[in-house]
Each structure stands twice: as C-alpha cells, then as structure tokens.
Amino acid sequence: MDTTSKFSKLYLTLVFVILYAPIFYLIFYSFNSGGTMSSFESFTFEHYAAVFEDTRLIMILINTIIIALLSALISTAIGVIGAIGIVYLQKRKSRNALLSLNNVLIVSPDVIIGASFLILFTMVGVKLGFASVLISHIAFSVPIVVIMVLPKLQEMSSTLVDAALDLGASKRDVLTRVIIPYIKPGIFAGFFLALTYSLDDFAVTFFVTGNGFTTLSVEIYSMARAGITLTINALSGLIFIFTLLLVLGYYFVTNRAKNPLRNGVPK
C-alpha cells in the first residue's frame, strides 16, 4: 500500500509539472534580455515595458476584455431567463428538445460554430468586426449559462414559488425576491464561465472577425506565426496573473455556494 501511494505521489507530481511547465517557461523567459526563448542572458523588465508602450496591443487587450464582459453579461441574462423558462415548461418533450439543442451548441466544435456563423453573418449582411464577434461570443456562451443555472432551479422546490404566490406576491416579486436570489450562485458561476470562454476563444473569433478588429487570441496567433517575440511572453505573464485572480474570484463566489466547481453538474 505504501509503495502505491509513493508511486501515486510521483505520478501526480509529474502531471502537475508537465501541466505548469509551459506556462512557467513562458514567464521565465519574459524576463530574458537576450530576446530568445533558449538562452537566458540577464534579468529585465523591458518586455513588460514593451507591452505597455504598444498602444495597439493595449487596445486589443481592452477590446478583448470589453467583448468578454459584455458577452458574459448579455449571455447570462438570456441564459437565466431561458433556464427559468425551460424549468417551468409543462411539456416534457419540448423541454427535452430545447435541452438537446442547448447541448448541440456546447458539443459543436468551434470550427463548425465559426464557419456557420460566418455564413450567417454574410447572408444577413452583418459587418464583420466588433458586432459579429460580440454576437458570436454571446451565442456560444448562452448554453453554458443555461447548464450552470438549471441544476439550481431544479433543486428549488416549486412549492416555494406557489407559497409566495399564495401569500399574495406578484409574479415580478416571485422572480426578483424568490427565484433569482435562490439561483444566484448559479448565475455567478455561469457568468464567470462565460467570461473565461470568451477570453479563451480563438477559433470562432478567427472566422468572424474583420475590418481591423482583433482579439488577443487572434493577435497572438498572427504574432506566433511571425516568430518568437518576448513581448508575447510578457503578455502571458500578465495574463497568467489576471487568470489567477479570475479563478480565485470564481472560487470565492462558488465557494460561498458551498460546493466549489461541481456546482454546475446537475444530478
């Protein structure tokens, strides 16, 4: 028994090292004055300075954040209302049909989402750029929010709503005073997940962007094709810290809802 546990520790350590190695490798060389990712010369902050001096990069960064915030906000609104609708749907069949549709978008590979949205936008005549990227991000985030909110709604007993109604609460009151406060942790979890999906998306954005509008992922892709620049490394250092803060925020929010991470898994 003791040997297995030693082996298991070694194994887990190895997995952790491999998972984190590329990230720390990037960050390590972001302090390299040598300009390459192979030989470390001396310590410098110049690449971080370069990030902040590059107004174009900063603008792309801000665009990425704006898209993430707005898409997460709007998709959360649509998703929450949709989830409430689904739960109170009387017909089992239509409920299942909606849930399957919901799942289709979650499982669909990004290439399919990107390509089909590109067709959609050109057919409808939406200008490729900020609007098309925002709409697509909302589109792929809505189902995620629904999935995160549903279990909370399902575990809420319907007698709670009926009781409120019997006590003379208006429907508006039921929504704002009973349902929403109850599913709040699910709403926050959905929002955070939508936020990270938007920040991380490359493939869908790659298809539907244009007219000078880019997000960070697409920009990194074109920078990476041009070769190694330690500005990307410095950027990744900053992003790592930002992500860490975001994760901690997420952990904090969902931890208040008792069961972290597994919050979104319906029974």
Partner 1 sequence: MKDIIQAVVAILVVSLVLFIINFQLDKTSGRSGNDSISVYNWGEYIDPESIKQFEKETGITVIYETFDSNEAMMTKIENGGTSYDVAMPSEYAIEKMKKNDLLIPIDHSKIPNLTNIDPYFLDLPFDPGNKYSIPYFWGTVGIAFNPSLLDGQTFESWEDLWDPSLKQEVILVDGAREVMGMGLNTLGYSLNTKDEGQLQEATDKLKTLSPNIKAIIGDEIVETMRRGESAVALVWSGQAADIMYVNEDIDYAVPKEGSNLWFDNMIIPKTAANVEGAHQFINFMLDPKIAAQNADYVGYSTPNEQAIKLMDPKVTGDERFYPTEEMRERLEVYKNLGVETLGKYNELFLEFKMDAQ
Partner 2 sequence: MKTNSNRSFYLIPYVVWMLLFVVAPIVLVGYFSLFDLHGNFSFVNYQNFFTSVYLKLTLSSFWYALIITGFTLLIAYPTAYWLTKTKHKQLWLLLIIIPSWINLLLKTYAFIGIFGVFGPINKFLELFGIGKQQILYTDFSFIFVSVYIFIPFMILPIFNSLDKMNPTLIDAARDLGSSTWNTFTKVIFPLTINGVKSGIQAVFIPSLSLFMITRLIAGNKVITLGTAIEQQFLVTQNWGMGSTIAVFLILFMVIIMILTGQKDKGELVNGHNK
Q: Which of residues 16-55 bind partner 1 (CB under 8 A)?
A: 36, 55
Asked whether position 107 contacts partner 1 by CB under 8 A, the answer is no
Q: Which of residues 144-163 bind partner 1 (CB under 8 A)?
A: none
Q: Which of partner 1, partner 2, none binds 240 (CB below 5-8 Å, type-dependent)? A: partner 2
Asked whether position 116 contacts partner 2 by CB under 8 A, the answer is yes
Q: Which of 57, 67, 183, 239 binds partner 2 (CB under 8 A)?
A: 239
CB of 207 to partner 2, least distance (A): 7
Residue 137 is which amino acid? H
Q: Please state, in angstroms and rounded to a whole number, the distance separating the CA atoms of residues 102 and 98.
A: 6
93 or 262, CB closer to partner 2? Answer: 262
For residue 42, give every residue at least 6 positions away whose Cβ sits within 8 Å of its Cβ, in sequence order, or none: 32, 33, 34
102 or 214, CB closer to partner 1? Answer: 214
Q: What DSSP designation does 127 have?
A: P
Residue 145 near residue 115, CB atoms below 8 Å:
no
Angle, CA of 202, 223 and 230, to the nearest 5°: 120
Q: Which of partner 2, partner 1, none binds 200 (CB below 5-8 Å, type-dependent)? A: partner 2
Q: DSSP string spanning 34-97?
A: TSSSS----B--HHHHHHHH-HHHHHHHHHHHHHHHHHHHHHHHHHHHHHHHHHT-S-HHHHHH
Q: Which of residues 142-171 bind partner 2 (CB under 8 A)?
A: 142, 144, 146-148, 150-151, 165, 171
36 or 94, CB closer to partner 1? Answer: 36
CB under 8 A, 24+ apart: contacts of 224-229: 228/36, 228/37
Binding mask 52-71 for partner 1 (x = CB under 8 A): ---xx-xx--xx-xx--xx-
Checking phi first, is residue 128 left (phi over 0); if not, alpha (psi -120 to 50) or beta? Answer: beta
Binding mask 57-96 for partner 2 (x = CB under 8 A): ---------------------xx-xxxxxx-xxx------
CB of 215 to partner 1, least distance (A): 13
Q: Which of 6, 171, 177, 256 binds partner 1 (CB under 8 A)?
A: 177
Number of residues assigned to the chain: 267
Rounded-to-10 torsion of CA 108, 110, 114, 115? -70
- Which residues bind to partner 1, rule: CB under 8 A? 36, 55-56, 58-59, 62-63, 65-66, 69-70, 72-73, 118, 121-122, 125-129, 132, 176-177, 180-181, 184, 187, 210-212, 222, 225-228
